Amino acid sequence: MNSREKVLDKYDSKIYKNRKEHIIQIEDGEANVIAADTRAIPGILTNRGCCYAGCKGVVIGPLKDVATIVHGPIGCSYYTWGTRRSKSKSEGDMKNFSEYSLSTDMQETDIVFGGDKKLRQAIDETMAIFNPSCIMICSTCPIGLIGDDIHAVAAKAEADYGIKILAFSCEGYKGVSQSGGHHIANNGLMKHIIGTGDAEPVKYSINLLGEYNIGGDGWEISRILKRVGYNIVSVMTGDGSVEELKNAHIADLNLVQCHRSINYIAEMLKTKYGTEWLKVNFIGIEGIKQSLRDTAAFFNDPELTARTEEVIADEIDEIMEEMALYKTKLEGKTAAVYVGGSRTHHYINLLKTLGVEVVLAGYEFAHRDDYEGREVLPSIKMDADSKNIESITVEKDPEKYRTFHTEERIQELKDAGLPIESYTGLWSDINDKAMVTDDFNHFETEEFIKLLKPDIFFSGIKDKYVVQHSGIPSRQLHSYDYSGPYAGFKGALNFAKEVTLAVNTPAWNLVQAPWKSEPTLEGSLGGME
Ligand code: CFM
């Protein structure tokens, strides 16, 4: 039996039948097909989050000038900027509400008699205390179950106060993971915010999509882009704001970092305003170099191209000596990488630069195209769960539609290999024979660790300590263990340093469980010791 079969063998026949489609060992040259974006098995201890997490936590949460009210029990409000570390700071007189957690604190009586009055009261209080220019309301599970009409409450309050108040029906149980919540948030921002501004276009302007400034990643990427000479119109949504998002339609190009969470907006911006999008990856030196060169190739200005090469050379020069040192300490190590829906792929080039081989990998909630590449999209069948999430369509805006290049020129750029409206999946970079599991659970994680013995495990919040207890160091790739940034050239160096420290500090191997050396319980039975 190989490792895959050994793990699957422990399941009963029903679970086996489901899970065998989600676990594959990569065979180079074969069509590696994986099942993804389907319901998790109840009780299996999945690492996934919920629809509310994807909408409120991931996409809406980082918008700093928005007062976001969570409509639901207080527990759901624990999930905020402190757990998903989207950093923000505001400039000028822009208000910053990111560090507040506003909740309607639903009680049993509200569940029985309805919570819409409480929601209105929360809006009134928010206005009285903070006076924001925009409020967003996010629903949690019970709201959908009891049927509070949050959209009616929002519309009434919007009329009363004359500010934008958006409501998102992103109840946790909707869809199969946080992925549905991304989609709901994308729809709301596109319908009500993006395109409502009246700023004039500027030269070399871009939006950075799917970058959430975890541990300051977005700041580091923006620093590099500005150094080259780009004007950043908006970032979606790390350290972002409604004020910026309103004018996102004026950018010449959209750079898409996390495709999984924001592809809907990228597509809609193209249809409605004519803005092309380019897939980028600002994690890892090879990824950044390629992304900067692709972006420069899109604009095709000799000055910008020359500046791009100067910046790359200069930034690499600053970090290379130290990177080389860390590589000597990491070369030949193996890793497991499990993140949500895009980072697993993004980190592979960085690990390769450090000589680390990925032997075990996967996603929590990715769709098949995140594994297999965009070409697979037409063959993905919609199921009842995906149909449950609204998919909106937009039309060309007669006044604001503007294209940077002609269609012929775009085709030429695509033919030259520029990833315009295209992306590869995890398969394009992962090693032959790597084990890949979709929607991984705790049981499989523990079993694969025993069988494949990676030197380091890149994981999440739920599984980090389980992994460490087994004696294997773990670095979180969601929140970076309170560190970061990991994006950009300087971020790559931070990452290399912290991984080197983790791998070479076998702290968890030095600890012995107390029950291994002495009994933890003593007693007597029937007079016998
Ligand atoms: Fe995109 Fe993300 Fe990710 Fe994601 Fe996330 Fe995240 Fe993630 Mo945690 S938006 S899909 S829902 S890159 S919070 S910043 S790290 S699971 S791989």
Atom of ligand 1 nearest to the CA of 343: 17
Checking if the pLDDT of 527 tops 80, the result is: no
pLDDT digit string, tens, across residues 347-384: 999 999 999 999 999 999 999 999 999 999 999 999 99
pLDDT digit string, tens, across residues 498-513: 999 999 987 877 878 8
Catalytic residue among 53, 76, 248, 258: 53
Average pLDDT, the chain: 96
Q: Whose CA is nearest to atom 6 of ligand 1?
A: 478
Checking if the pLDDT of 461 tops 90, the result is: no
Catalytic residue among 4, 71, 84, 475: 84
| Higher local confidence (pLDDT), 517 or 289 | 289
Ligand 1 close to Cβ of residue 79 (< 6 A): no
Atom of ligand 1 nearest to the CA of 259: 1
Ligand 1 close to Cβ of residue 218 (< 6 A): no
113-131: average pLDDT: 98
pLDDT at res. 522: 82
pLDDT digit string, tens, across residues 10-52: 999 999 999 999 999 999 999 999 999 999 999 999 999 999 9
Q: Whose CA is nearest to atom 14 of ligand 1?
A: 212
Cα-to-centroid distance, 363 and ligand 1 (Å): 10
Q: Whose CA is nearest to atom 17 of ligand 1?
A: 340
Distance separating alpha carbons of residues 409 and 3, to the nearest angstrom: 49
pLDDT digit string, tens, across residues 173-187: 999 999 999 999 999
Ligand 1 close to Cβ of residue 339 (< 6 A): yes
Position 471 confidence tier, pLDDT thresholds 50, 70, 90? confident
**What is residue 517's DSSP assignment?**
T
Is 84 marked active-site? yes
pLDDT at res. 508: 76
Atom of ligand 1 nearest to the CA of 258: 1
Position 489 confidence tier, pLDDT thresholds 50, 70, 90? very high
pLDDT at res. 513: 80
Checking if the pLDDT of 274 tops 60, the result is: yes
Mutational test site, ligand 1, from 79, 256, 258, 371, max ligand atoms within 8 Å of CB: 258
Cα-to-centroid distance, 297 and ligand 1 (Å): 28
Cα-to-centroid distance, 153 and ligand 1 (Å): 31
Q: Is the CB of residue 44 less than 8 Å from the CB of residue 441?
A: yes
pLDDT at res. 82: 86
Is 39 marked active-site? no
Given its phi and psi angles, is residue 199 left (phi above 0), alpha (psi -120 to 50 degrees) or beta? beta
Mutational test site, ligand 1, from 46, 50, 58, max ligand atoms within 8 Å of CB: 58
Catalytic residue among 36, 40, 48, 50: 50
159-179: average pLDDT: 97
Position 528 confidence tier, pLDDT thresholds 50, 70, 90? low
pLDDT digit string, tens, across residues 182-235: 999 999 999 999 999 999 999 999 999 999 999 999 999 999 999 999 999 999
pLDDT at res. 506: 77
| Higher local confidence (pLDDT), 450 or 83 | 450
pLDDT digit string, tens, across residues 62-98: 999 999 999 999 999 998 888 899 999 998 999 999 9
pLDDT at res. 470: 84
Domains of the chain (ranges; CATH) run 51-192 (3.40.50.1980), 205-318+374-424 (3.40.50.1980)
Checking if the pLDDT of 419 tops 90, the result is: yes
| % of the chain with per-residue pLDDT over 70 | 100
Q: Is the CB of residue 69 less than 8 Å from the CB of residue 104?
A: yes
Is 53 marked active-site? yes
Position 402 confidence tier, pLDDT thresholds 50, 70, 90? very high
Q: Is the CB of residue 150 less than 8 Å from the CB of residue 169?
A: yes
| % of the chain with per-residue pLDDT over 90 | 90
pLDDT digit string, tens, across residues 294-329: 999 999 999 999 999 999 999 999 999 999 999 999
Ligand 1 close to Cβ of residue 256 (< 6 A): no
State how beta strands 253-256 and 134-139 pair.
Answer: unpaired
DSSP 24-58: EE--TTS------SSPPPTTS-B----HHIIIIII
pLDDT at res. 529: 56
Task: Look at the alpha carbons of 486, 488, 490, 492 in this order and tell me if their dihedral is positive or negative.
Answer: positive
Ligand 1 close to Cβ of residue 234 (< 6 A): no
